[in-house]
């Protein structure tokens, strides 16, 4: 599982920083999460192929999270896209994007499918045989969702040494991988667990931006491998965080601690801070496994 950070700052773009956007690479899927200004430039800079992006998830309708979407939709058209593009986001997103297409007489020549959200409880947005995506209801100034990405468990792997030990013919291997036991000629039953190995633990990624401190999400994200949680402010600006519906680094770390996640990635920093290392230092007073998002940085788990 890889997380590619395209932008991780709050509010306005700057010459050296971009507003929020990232790509999650999981089970051969590339999911674009939020789409602030400059997203398609960063996609090119990180050599991420546009054609592999078929699903875009927009957390909320503040500009630093979706103002890059109209341009990306238009670029897909200019690049000759034919595959359907699915966009998931709050009600109103379709109206905003299609109005621009209408006024510019630039309708896409590929299926553009909007999945608008109004639910205040978790819902499954996407599911196939290897991965699922659910919403995480957040607490912000406007209707906002995070997103929970989960791999589905892989089949157990064949224990080659065990098959040799019991001289099991190759034609039975597929049945064993499907969960069957094996009976020897003398009637002894060899359990499937002895003939197979545990698969890697399924990976999971929870994206939570933007939100005030919200312990209600803890049961849903409990035990995830990686949590991306906004940390717009430091403790010194706690009152500003309360006023604007954002979190401090310490509050993000407290969510990670309560949820028992393996890794916490901080992001969505206010541009008032020159040194983002202070966010790590504050968070580590609560939770040790802290990573800092930075524009252009990728994490592999």
Is 128 among the residues known to form the active site? no
- Pairing relationship of beta strands 204-208 and 226-230 according to DSSP bridges: parallel
**275 known ligand binder:** no
**115 known ligand binder:** no
Complete DSSP assignment for 250-277: HHHHHHHHHHT-SEEEEE-B-TT-S-TH
**86 known ligand binder:** no
Complete DSSP assignment for 35-96: E-TTHHHHHHHTT--GGGEEEEE---S-HHHHTTHHHHHHHHHHTT--S-EEEEEETTHHHH
**263 known ligand binder:** no
**134 known ligand binder:** no
- Pairing relationship of beta strands 2-7 and 21-26 according to DSSP bridges: antiparallel
Contact 81, 113 (CB under 8 A): no
DSSP conformation class of 11: S
**4 known ligand binder:** no
Catalytic residue, candidates 34, 64, 134, 295: 64
**210 known ligand binder:** yes
Contact 226, 298 (CB under 8 A): no
Q: Which residues are catalytic?
A: 64
Binding-site residues for Zn(2+): 60, 62, 64-65, 140, 210, 268
Binding-site residues: 60, 62, 64-65, 140, 210, 268
């Amino acid at each position: 599982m890889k997380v590619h950070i395209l932008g991780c700052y709050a509010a306005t773009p700057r010459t050296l920083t971009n507003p929020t956007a990232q790509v999650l690479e999981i089970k051969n899927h590339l999911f674009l999460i939020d789409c602030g200004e400059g997203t398609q430039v960063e996609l090119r800079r990180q050599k991420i192929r546009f054609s592999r992006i078929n699903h875009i998830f927009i957390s909320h309708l503040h500009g630093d999270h979706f103002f890059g979407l109209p341009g990306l939709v238009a670029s897909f058209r200019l690049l000759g896209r034919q595959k359907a593009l699915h966009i998931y986001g709050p009600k109103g997103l379709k109206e905003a994007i299609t109005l621009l297409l209408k006024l510019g007489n630039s309708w896409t020549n590929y299926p553009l499918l909007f999945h608008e959200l109004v639910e205040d409880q978790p819902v499954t947005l996407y599911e196939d045989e290897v991965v699922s995506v659910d919403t995480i209801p957040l607490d912000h100034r406007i209707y906002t969702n995070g997103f929970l990405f989960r791999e589905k468990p892989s089949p157990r792997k064949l224990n080659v040494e065990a098959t040799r030990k019991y001289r099991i013919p190759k034609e039975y291997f597929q049945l064993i991988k499907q969960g069957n036991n094996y009976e020897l000629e003398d009637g002894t039953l060899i359990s499937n667990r002895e003939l197979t190995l545990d698969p890697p633990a399924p990976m999971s990624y929870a994206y939570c931006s933007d939100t005030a401190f919200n312990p209600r999400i803890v049961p849903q994200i409990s035990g995830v491998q990686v949590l991306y949680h906004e940390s717009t402010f430091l403790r010194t600006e706690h009152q500003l965080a309360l006023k604007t519906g954002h979190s401090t680094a310490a509050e993000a770390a407290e969510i990670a601690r309560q949820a028992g996640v393996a890794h916490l990635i901080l992001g969505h920093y206010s541009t008032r801070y020159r040194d983002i290392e202070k966010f790590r230092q504050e968070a580590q007073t609560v939770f040790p496994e802290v990573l800092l998002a930075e524009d252009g940085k990728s994490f592999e788990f």
